[in-house]
């Protein structure tokens, strides 16, 4: 190892990596371009994926489990099989770790079959997702649930809230009993791709959807429980006169924050083509620009620990990911990840980030086979690694979008350092040291960041921190 002399500088060798783990195909390559998988994570850290499988004249729901380490756990197992039609379902986790699947479709053409009327149905799975039970009878009074995808969230009182769209508006159902009547949010016409989320502090349940009502186009959101509130238009989600808007082609990209307040929406601004990816907090006036990305599509969002948010989108066949600080007030570097090899078209993009890394699903068509399937990979958040010379000491700072990271490992000049509660690690420079060395910062669940350290006549003066050394109040419980 070469040694150092005098002043030194840090040269970025790898600060914004654009790699992810290998893609794994989750579904069979016989999907339709409208298929969208359902995701839910159980308390053991396992991510459960329920997806549609087409088999001749019938449709099935299949289950795939992904471990906390990002590895697919074995092959798929059946949830429901042999139905005539099925729609994109919604999956939630109960307090006991059970899996509840809400869906619609028609099991047969026989009208005497209680599952052949297009109502809302319910199936339950054990903690591991290995055994599933179809619960008796329809849950909804409506028999037009099969017209759309299903969205669901578990409310703070352990009662699920389910949303879907029909020709006459947005429909809601609370609980699992048919005795709880459906709630209808009447619209002139028409609503598509409903989403639903819960505020982590107030418990308010918010639903959202895309509207193409004449002179009322755009994205709409409304608190629907425990008490309905005013319908809100998402500013900049349509043209100024609201006569045109970009359609969304998957469930509304909305989420609450883990243990923090607010329900957030990620969406494209611009018409007829997207100009930027924006973030809007429900109840706010203006949205903030996450990234300028002309032609972006399939924008989505996912909650991460400590109130952080992941925002993702596609542009042609490249996927983009960025994660916020704990206050969700700013975002880190944008990571670029190529779609699965041979991808021609991306139809859906989603993810689940409650462990920290983002578990990503993309629904894509391959060229030249034209096969359509859902693929999985994991994207790690990057560490920000900076340093400052202070006499004969080098003060390293490791942060996560400005929030200090405790317990990160810094390897430099053959020494192993560990960051403290403020994200600092200090290296003492021996007298007369000279030469070049590299330093890396790493921590489980993060992407390793590598820097080069060198000396020379042109390197003078202290280096500046990339971010101020300010600890977000939302992170104090985690990082102190």
Residue 326 has pLDDT above 60, yes or no: yes
Residue-level pLDDT at 49: 98
Q: Which of 33, 62, 70, 63 lies closest to 48 in space, CA to CA? A: 63
Q: Which of 106, 125, 121, 148 lies closest to 63 in space, CA to CA? A: 125
Residue-level pLDDT at 398: 94
Residue-level pLDDT at 476: 41
Question: What confidence tier does 391 reach under pLDDT thresholds 50, 70, 90?
Answer: confident
Q: Which of 160, 97, 161, 162 lies closest to 129 in space, CA to CA? A: 97
Q: Which of 236, 300, 299 lies closest to 271 in space, CA to CA? A: 236
Question: What confidence tier does 394 reach under pLDDT thresholds 50, 70, 90?
Answer: confident
Distance (Å, whole) CA 314 – CA 40: 22
| Per-residue pLDDT reduced to its tens digit, 283-319 | 998 999 999 999 999 999 999 999 999 999 999 999 9
Residue 178 has pLDDT above 50, yes or no: yes
What is the percent of the chain with per-residue pLDDT over 90, rounded to a whole number?
A: 75
Distance (Å, whole) CA 94 – CA 14: 41
Give the 3-state secondary structure of residue 307. Answer: helix
Residue-level pLDDT at 393: 84
Residue 462 has pLDDT above 70, yes or no: no
Distance (Å, whole) CA 404 – CA 396: 11
Residue-level pLDDT at 465: 26
Mean pLDDT of 37-50: 97
Residue 464 has pLDDT above 90, yes or no: no
Q: Which of 91, 121, 123, 124 lies closest to 105 in space, CA to CA? A: 121
Residue-level pLDDT at 159: 94
Could you write out the DSSP letters of every residue in 397-447?
EEEETTEE-TT-EEEETTEEEE--TTSEEEEEPPTT--S-EEEEEE-TTSB
The percent helix, strand, coil of the chain (3-state, each to 5) is 5, 50, 50
Mean pLDDT of 62-66: 97
| Contact in structure between 280 and 218 (CB atoms under 8 Å) | no
| Per-residue pLDDT reduced to its tens digit, 348-390 | 999 999 999 999 999 999 999 999 999 999 999 999 888 887 7
Question: What confidence tier does 46 reach under pLDDT thresholds 50, 70, 90?
Answer: very high
Q: Which residues contact 154 (CB under 8 A, 6 or more apart)?
A: 92, 93, 94, 160, 161, 198
Distance (Å, whole) CA 56 – CA 85: 11
| Contact in structure between 472 and 406 (CB atoms under 8 Å) | no
Encode burial over 260-283: b for 16+ CB neighbours within 10 A, e otherwise. Answer: bebbbbbbbbbbeebbbbbbbbbe
Question: What confidence tier does 437 reach under pLDDT thresholds 50, 70, 90?
Answer: low
| Contact in structure between 336 and 447 (CB atoms under 8 Å) | no
Mean pLDDT of 323-344: 95
Beta strands in 116-253 (DSSP E): 121-125, 132-134, 151-154, 160-166, 169-174, 183-186, 191-198, 205-213, 216-225, 232-233
Residue-level pLDDT at 435: 57
Residue-level pLDDT at 55: 80
Question: What confidence tier does 439 reach under pLDDT thresholds 50, 70, 90?
Answer: confident
User: Taking all residues of the chain, what is their mean pLDDT, rounded to a whole number?
Assistant: 87
Mean pLDDT of 273-281: 97
Tokens representing 151 are 């969205």
- In this structure, the number of other CB atoms found within 10 A of the CB of residue 434 comes to 11
| Side-chain-side CA neighbours of residue 350 (13 Å) | 20
Mean pLDDT of 208-236: 94
| Start-to-end Cα distance in the chain | 35
Residue 17 has pLDDT above 90, yes or no: no
Distance (Å, whole) CA 326 – CA 307: 5
Distance (Å, whole) CA 161 – CA 461: 58
Q: Which residues contact 71 (CB under 8 A, 6 or more apart)?
A: none
Q: Which domains does the chain have, with CATH numbers?
A: 8-16+383-479 (2.60.40), 24-379 (2.120.10.10)
Is the backbone peptide bond immediately before 272 cis, with ω within 30 degrees of 0? Answer: yes
Mean pLDDT of 164-191: 84
Higher pLDDT, 236 or 473: 236
Higher pLDDT, 42 or 57: 42
Lowest model confidence (mean pLDDT) among 52-66, 129-143, 190-204, 464-478: 464-478
Residue 56 has pLDDT above 70, yes or no: yes
Q: Which of 79, 75, 76, 74 lies closest to 61 in space, CA to CA? A: 79
Distance (Å, whole) CA 290 – CA 236: 14
Residue 154 has pLDDT above 60, yes or no: yes
**pTM of the shown model:** 0.90
Distance (Å, whole) CA 475 – CA 473: 5
Q: Which of 439, 382, 379, 441 lies closest to 407 in space, CA to CA? A: 441
| Per-residue pLDDT reduced to its tens digit, 79-112 | 999 999 999 999 999 999 999 999 999 999 888 9
Residue-level pLDDT at 106: 96
What is the percent of the chain with per-residue pLDDT over 70, rounded to a whole number?
A: 87
Q: Which residues pair with 280 in a beta bridge?
A: 265
């Amino acid at each position: 190892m070469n040694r150092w002399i005098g002043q030194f500088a840090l040269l970025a060798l790898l600060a914004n990596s654009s790699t992810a783990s290998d893609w794994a195909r989750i579904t069979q390559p016989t999907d339709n371009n409208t298929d969208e998988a359902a995701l839910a994570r159980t308390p053991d850290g396992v991510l459960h994926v329920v997806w549609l499988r087409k088999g001749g004249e019938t449709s099935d729901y299949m289950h795939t489990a992904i471990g906390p380490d990002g590895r697919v756990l074995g092959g798929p197992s059946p949830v429901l099989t042999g139905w005539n039609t099925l729609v994109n379902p919604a999956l939630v986790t109960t307090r006991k770790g059970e899996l509840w699947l809400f869906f619609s479709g028609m099991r047969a053409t026989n009208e005497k079959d209680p599952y052949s009327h297009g109502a809302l149905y319910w199936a339950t799975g054990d903690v591991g997702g290995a055994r599933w039970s179809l619960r008796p009878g329809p849950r909804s009074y409506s028999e037009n649930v099969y017209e759309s995808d299903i969205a669901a969230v578990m409310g703070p009182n352990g009662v699920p809230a389910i949303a879907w769209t029909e020709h006459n508006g947005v429909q809601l159902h609370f609980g699992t009993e048919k005795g709880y009547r459906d709630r209808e949010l009447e619209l002139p016409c028409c609503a598509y791709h409903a989403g639903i989320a819960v505020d982590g502090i107030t418990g308010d349940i918010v639903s959202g959807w895309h509207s193409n009502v004449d002179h009322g186009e755009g994205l709409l959101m409304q608190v629907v429980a425990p008490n309905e509130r005013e319908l809100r238009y998402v500013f900049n989600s349509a043209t100024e006169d609201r006569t045109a808007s970009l359609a969304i082609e998957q469930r509304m990209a909305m989420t609450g924050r883990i243990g923090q307040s607010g329900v957030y929406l990620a969406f494209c601004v611009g018409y007829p083509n997207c100009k930027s990816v924006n973030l809007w907090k429900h109840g706010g006036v203006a949205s903030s620009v996450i990234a300028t990305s002309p032609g972006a599509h399939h924008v989505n969002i996912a909650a991460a620990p400590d109130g952080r948010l992941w925002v993702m989108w596609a542009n042609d066949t490249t996927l983009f990911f960025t994660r916020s600080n704990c206050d969700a007030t700013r975002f880190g570097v944008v990571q670029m990840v190529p779609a699965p090899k041979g991808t021609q078209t991306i139809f859906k993009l989603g993810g689940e980030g409650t462990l920290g890394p983002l578990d990503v699903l993309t629904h894509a068509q391959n060229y030249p086979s034209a096969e359509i399937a859902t693929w999985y990979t994991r994207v790690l958040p990057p560490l920000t690694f900076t340093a400052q010379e202070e006499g004969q000491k080098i003060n390293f700072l490791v942060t996560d979008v400005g929030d200090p990271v405790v317990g990160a490992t810094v390897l430099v000049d053959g020494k192993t350092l560990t960051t403290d509660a403020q994200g600092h690690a200090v290296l003492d420079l021996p007298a007369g040291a000279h030469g070049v060395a590299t330093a890396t910062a790493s921590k489980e669940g993060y992407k390793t960041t590598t820097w080069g350290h060198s000396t020379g006549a042109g390197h003078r003066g202290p280096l500046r921190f990339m971010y101020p050394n300010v600890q977000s109040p939302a992170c104090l419980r985690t990082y102190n």
